[in-house]
C-alpha cells in the first residue's frame, strides 16, 4: 500500500522539524514537503499533490483560515488537519477552521522542555488522525451479527434521555443534528465530543447559538432537565446519577477509556444504568471505537441505538464499529437523524423549525 504523503505548513522551523521527524518515523507516512506560509503551501499542493495537509493557524502572508478557504476552492476533498495552540484564541480559531472545512485538528504540545516528549505527544495525536482520514476502515455490507430480537422494545414517545457520542467531524455534525430537534425537546440531551479543555466550552456556546436552545458545558451536581443539552467538559468524564428522585451530572478525571477523556463509553454506561430502557444512544462521525462498549450496555438495558451512516461521516470509525457489531437499530444519514430522534420522542417539529438549517457553526467573535 502506498505511503500517505503529507505536506506540513507551519511558519516555525522548530515545529516543521518536529512534525517531519515524527511523521517520518512511521512506515506508512511520507513527508512530501514543507511550507513556511500559506502561499507557499498552496503552490506546493499543486506541485506535490499530497494526500493530506497539516496547517498551522498563525502564519504570515496567508494565515491558516485563509489558506484553508483557498484549499477548499481548489481541492475540496483534500484532508486538512489544523495544528493550533491550546489557548482560548487557538480553540476559537480552530472551531472556525472546522466550520470552513478542516477535517480535524491537533493541539500543539506546550513547552515541555523535552523534544522527545513533544515528539511522543505529536505521534499519539497526529499519526492516528492522518491514518483515519486517509486509510478508511474496510466497508462491511451488513452487520457482523444480527440485532438482538426484541432488545429495543420501548414504545415511541416514552424515551427518557438522548445520549450522543461524536469525535472527528463532530462540531459540524452537531450543528446539523441539534437544530433539527423539536423545541422544547421533551427529554435532556447529553453529549460527549472528543475535545480538550477550552474547546468544549466554546463549542457549547456555538451550539447554543445555532440551535436556539440551552447548550452548556457540564459541571458536577447540575440537575438534568428536559430540553437542556449538556456537553462533557474537556479532560473530564461525564456521568449521570439518580439521587432522591433527581438525575444529576457527575464529572470526574477517572482513567481515560479508549485513550479518551471524556469518553463516550463512560457516559453511555451511566445512561444505561440510570435511564434503562428509556435510553437512546446516538453515535456520530469519529475515529476509533469509543461508544461501542457503551452501546452494548444500552442494548442490554433495552434502549435504542442510532448511528450515522458512512456516506455522511467524516470518519466512519465510531459509528461503523457499532453498526458492524450489529448493535444499531437504524443506520441513517446525518440529515435524517434529527427526524428519527423526534419520532422516537413522539414529537413533530413546527413548520418554522424545518427551515434555514445550514448545519454550519457560525464564527466565534473574540471579546
Q: Is 206 helix (H, G, I), strand (E, B) or coil?
A: helix
Predicted confidence at residue 154, as pLDDT, reads: 52
Active-site residue, from 56, 118, 194, 309: 194
First to last CA, the chain: 48
Q: How confident is the model at residue 351 (pLDDT cuts 50, 70, 90)?
A: low
Active-site residue, from 10, 96, 265, 290: 290
Alpha helices in 53-104 (DSSP H): 64-74, 88-100
Q: How far apart, in whole angstroms, are the C-alpha atoms of residue 65 and residue 86?
A: 17
290 is catalytic: yes
Distances (CA, A) of 361 to 100, 171, 196, 211: 9, 7, 18, 10
Q: How far apart, in whole angstroms, are the C-alpha atoms of residue 293 and residue 312?
A: 23
Could you read off the pLDDT of 56-107 as tens digits, one per residue?
998 999 999 999 999 999 999 999 999 987 778 888 999 999 999 999 999 8
Taking a C-beta distance cutoff of 8 angstroms, is the pair 48, 5 a contact? yes
Q: How confident is the model at residue 34 (pLDDT cuts 50, 70, 90)?
A: very high
Q: Please count the other Cβ atoms lying within 10 Å of the Cβ belonging to residue 346.
A: 13
Lowest-confidence range among 120-129, 165-174, 235-244, 322-331? 120-129
Q: Which residues, in sequence order, are CB contacts of 302 under 8 Å at separation 6+?
A: 151, 152, 153, 154, 276, 277
167 is catalytic: yes
Residue 151 burial class via C-beta count within 10 angstroms: exposed 0-12, middle 13-18, buried 19 and up: middle
Structural domains in the chain plus CATH codes? 4-134 (3.40.50.2300), 161-353 (3.40.50.180)
Question: Could you tell me the three cell numbers for 190?
Answer: 447529553
Tell me which residue has cell 478508511: 136
Active-site residue, from 107, 118, 152, 167: 167
Q: How far apart, in whole angstroms, are the C-alpha atoms of residue 173 and residue 187?
A: 20
* 123: Cα separation from own chain's centroid: 20
Amino acid at each position: 500500500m502506498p505511503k500517505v504523503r503529507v505536506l506540513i505548513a507551519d511558519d516555525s522551523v522548530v515545529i516543521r522539524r518536529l512534525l517531519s521527524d515524527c511523521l517520518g518515523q512511521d512506515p506508512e507516512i511520507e513527508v512530501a514537503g514543507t511550507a513556511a506560509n500559506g502561499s507557499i503551501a498552496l503552490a506546493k499542493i499543486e506541485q506535490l499533490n499530497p494526500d493530506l495537509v497539516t496547517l498551522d493557524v498563525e502564519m504570515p502572508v496567508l494565515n491558516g483560515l485563509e489558506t484553508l478557504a483557498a484549499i477548499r476552492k481548489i481541492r475540496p476533498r483534500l484532508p486538512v488537519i489544523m495544528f493550533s495552540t491550546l489557548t482560548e484564541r487557538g480553540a476559537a480559531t480552530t472551531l472556525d477552521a472546522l466550520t470552513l472545512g478542516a477535517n480535524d485538528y491537533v493541539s500543539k504540545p506546550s513547552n515541555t522542555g523535552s523534544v522527545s516528549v513533544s515528539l511522543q505527544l505529536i505521534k499519539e495525536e497526529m499519526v492516528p488522525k492522518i491514518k483515519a482520514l486517509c486509510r478508511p476502515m474496510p466497508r462491511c455490507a451488513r452487520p457482523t451479527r444480527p440485532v438482538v430480537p426484541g432488545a429495543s422494545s420501548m414504545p415511541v414517545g416514552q424515551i427518557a434521555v438522548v445520549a450522543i457520542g461524536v469525535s472527528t467531524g463532530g462540531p459540524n455534525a452537531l450543528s446539523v443534528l441539534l437544530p433539527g430537534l423539536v423545541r422544547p425537546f421533551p427529554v435532556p440531551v447529553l453529549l460527549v465530543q472528543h475535545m480538550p479543555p477550552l474547546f468544549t466550552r466554546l463549542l457549547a456556546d456555538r451550539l447554543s447559538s445555532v440551535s436556539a436552545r440551552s447548550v452548556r458545558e457540564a459541571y458536577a451536581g447540575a440537575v438534568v432537565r428536559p430540553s437542556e443539552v449538556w456537553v462533557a467538559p474537556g479532560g473530564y468524564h461525564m456521568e449521570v446519577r439518580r439521587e432522591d428522585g433527581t438525575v444529576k451530572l457527575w464529572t470526574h478525571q477517572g482513567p481515560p477509556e479508549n485513550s479518551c477523556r471524556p469518553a463516550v463509553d463512560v457516559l453511555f454506561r451511566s445512561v444505561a444504568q440510570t435511564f434503562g430502557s428509556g435510553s437512546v444512544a446516538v453515535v456520530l462521525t469519529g475515529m476509533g471505537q469509543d461508544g461501542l462498549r457503551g452501546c452494548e450496555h444500552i442494548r442490554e438495558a433495552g434502549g435504542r441505538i442510532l448511528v450515522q451512516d458512512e456516506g455522511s461521516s467524516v470518519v466512519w470509525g465510531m459509528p461503523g464499529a457499532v453498526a458492524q457489531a450489529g448493535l444499531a437499530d437504524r443506520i441513517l444519514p446525518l440529515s435524517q437523524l434529527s427526524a428519527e430522534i423526534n419520532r422516537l420522542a413522539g414529537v413533530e417539529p413546527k413548520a418554522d423549525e424545518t427551515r434555514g438549517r445550514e448545519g454550519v457553526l457560525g464564527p466565534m467573535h473574540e471579546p
